[in-house]
Chain A
């Protein structure tokens, strides 16, 4: 008779008795979904703008109205000089300076061209980039309408670009964020809890008691991995339901494909947890080690910083980050309805990681016992 069912029953008993594990597993997806997408938002509003209008003409006033009317900018000051506006940047009251030269209207009407100057406080790189881009886009739009107004007959020949956000038509940042949060949740539950659970047996000495029984290592390890494999799947399911209820996100692709990929991905994550647990003797060590790796996984995972903006070496490194693949697949399947063929490279990469991590962990587990 295999002792696996006995061990599994014991594990589940302990997990269900541990109130903090249950609470966090159930509350985490809900909390993260409610708080994170609403708080973490790249759609900047209320960008503080200081305008130095040296022209004070109708046209310059129209342009400023257009900018403030966009809803993204808050006009904090009509500064008399650039130096005055610069002081506002220094005191952090303004993020952007728009300087309109004197003779703006005259030159634009007479010569059909004029320059305005935009200065951006680039300390917060994202806000600066996004704010600068918004401003440029609004001014460009204003430019087109002015040209049409002034020279209705001479419509400019040129390339006009219109764009459309595929799979996320309203460019909703939340929709892009949620599959990634799901991926991180599953990773945390799978990797962290399994490692802590095994290390706890070491720390309290219960593993000694287990080791003098006829329980095989294989059964012991399986009994540790299976519950967290299931738990992570449950948490993922809760996450999907919450994503639907709050944001109306319905996976566009096949659910079977989604769960299939997660099944394999979890093997890699659990293998990682197991590996950490073979090197650590206390839960404190395990927490630090896992936290260290999770930070790297998350920061290099392509959720908060686009992979495409990374240097080549970093992009290569992200191929060895299981979370990168998970986030990619979540986005592909949930938002883009990608098929098995599309995610096959990710699947193979994650499967390879699962094999390497688990073999390494089991070999190391043997050595230390």
Chain B
């Protein structure tokens, strides 16, 4: 089966200094999957999106979207993809209804024709359809942007940080909508800096400084975490980390939410007890140490710290 997105050796640099934003990236996204580009700000996610949506010419490499070359067949691609940029970029001085109608007409279709695609989302917007887009709340803006990106029934949907700046409830709803869109057979490429959203994707690519670190299903990526992980608590975070840093035999430790995470070699034994004893010996009280299941965030931190070392 043909790939929905196929990028080979894609690079992009900017300016006279040739600052590398995307560093020889190759990607393969299958039709109908939700594929996540997970990485911190400045990792090159937006540049990859802009190249795939024909807004930016790659410096090296090629890419195809549904079989069409992003450079040669850019007009074909523009007919077939939906793009929701990270920044809200609909007409603020047009109403909800007018924005949607405008993008439908531009693609030579009507709101009615593809209403089934956006129905779930649009019913929430319907009460505000006479309101100017600029006057909507953040979550509503995202929903409208998604509707406008969907109204021409794209084959591939590009969502660049769709949930940045959106409250947790709206974020959850948003991902539920994406899951429903998947059932319509739309391929979705989504970029996000939120590690917790990664598990919502079928497959993810971890990206950092323009390079892809790993591509797999979220489960496979966390399962491949090579070290044993503990979550540790005892007094303040800084005191805990200071104490942990003095302990031999651990690979890395860092704060993660209310716990400190400690990675130790998979072969090490009795680590749980050793950590606990060590922290108590350092004068910490209320010490809790228990095994933890690695998350995407832990995988990411492992890459980041290894790179620094």
Residues of B within 8 A of A208 (CB): 55, 83, 85, 89
4 cross-chain pairs, A with B, having the tightest CB-CB distances, nearest first: A205-B89, A212-B83, A6-B105, A209-B89
Residue A118 is within 8 A (CB to CB) of chain B in the complex: no
B128 on the A face (CB < 8 A)? no
Query: Are B94 and A13 in contact (CB-based, < 8 A)?
Result: yes
In angstroms, Cα B184 to Cα A53, docked, is 102
Q: Could you tell me the distance in whole angstroms from the C-beta of B14 to the nearest C-beta in chain A? A: 14
B83 touches A13 (CB 8 A): no
A206 touches B (CB below 8 Å): yes
In the complex, B106 has a CB within 8 A of chain A: yes
- Report the separation of the CA atoms of residues A213 and B93 in the bound assembly, to the nearest whole angstrom: 20
Rounded to whole angstroms, the CA-CA distance of A17 and B91 in the bound complex is 12
What 1/0 mask marks residues of chain A from 12 to 54 whose CB sits below 8 Å from any chain B CB? 0110011000000000000000000000000000000000000
Q: Which one of A13, A18, A204, A206 contacts B98 once the chains associate, using CB atoms below 8 Å?
A: A13
Question: Could you say which interface size class chain B belongs to?
Answer: 20 to 34
Interface size bucket, A side?
Answer: 10 to 19
Q: How far is the CB of A58 from chain B (nearest CB, A)?
A: 77
- Check if B225 is an interface residue, CB within 8 A of chain A: no
Asked if A150 is an interface residue, CB under 8 A from chain B, the answer is no
A residues less than 8 Å from B75 (CB atoms): 214
Q: Which of B53, B55, B94, B108 makes the CB contact (< 8 A) with A14?
A: B94
* Residues of A contacting B90 in the complex (Cβ-Cβ under 8 angstroms): 206, 209
* Residues of chain B within 8 A of A18, CB atoms compared: 93
CA distance A204 to B90 in the complex (A): 8
Q: Which of B79, B106, B148 has the most CB of A within 10 A?
A: B106
Give me 15 other A-B pairs in contact (C-beta within 8 A), A17-B93, A214-B79 excluded: A1-B108, A3-B106, A6-B105, A7-B106, A10-B102, A13-B94, A14-B91, A205-B85, A208-B89, A209-B103, A211-B55, A212-B55, A213-B106, A213-B107, A214-B107
Closest to A5 in B: B105
The residue of chain B having its C-beta at the shortest distance from the C-beta of A369 within the complex is B55
Residue numbers of B with Cβ under 8 A of A are 53-55, 75, 78-79, 81-83, 85, 87-94, 98, 102-103, 105-108, 148
Cβ-closest chain B residue relative to A212? B83
Report yes or no: B54 in contact with A212, Cβ–Cβ below 8 A. Answer: yes
In the complex, A205 Cα to B92 Cα: how many Å? 11
Contact sample, A vs B, 6 pairs, CB 8 Å cutoff:
A10-B102, A206-B89, A211-B55, A212-B54, A213-B78, A215-B106
The digit string for A204-244, where 1 denotes a CB below 8 A from any CB of B, is: 11101101111100000000000000000000000000000
CA distance A213 to B105 in the complex (A): 11
Closest chain A residue to B81, Cβ basis: A212
Residues of B near A1 (CB, < 8 A) are 108
Contact indicator A10/B94 (Cβ below 8 Å): yes
CB distance from A5 to the nearest CB of B (A): 9
B106 touching A6, Cβ below 8 Å:
yes
Point out the residues of chain B lying under 8 angstroms from A206, CB to CB. Answer: 89-91
Residues of B contacting A213 in the complex (Cβ-Cβ under 8 angstroms): 78, 103, 106-107
Residue from A1, A13, A14, A214 with most neighbouring chain B CB atoms (10 Å) = A214
B87 and A205 form a contact (CB under 8 A):
yes
Residues of B within 8 A of A211 (CB): 54-55, 78
Complex Cα distance, B79 from A213, in Å, reads 6
- Distance between Cα atoms of A213 and B85 in the complex (Å): 13
Closest-CB distance, B107 to chain A (whole angstroms)? 6
Q: CA of A275 to CA of B283 in the docked complex: distance in angstroms?
A: 70
Q: Are B81 and A214 in contact (CB under 8 A)?
A: no
Asked if B83 contacts A209 (CB within 8 A), the reply is yes
Cα–Cα, bound, A144→B268 (Å) = 123
Nearest B residue to A219 via CB reads B106
A214 touches B78 (CB 8 A): yes
Q: Taking the nearest CB of chain A, how far is it from the CB of B244, in angstroms?
A: 45
**B100 CB, min distance to chain A CBs, angstroms:** 12
Complex: chain B residue closest to A205, CB-CB:
B89
Give the complex CA separation of A362 and B114 in angstroms: 35
Across-interface contacts of A212 in B (CB, < 8 A): 53-55, 78, 81-83
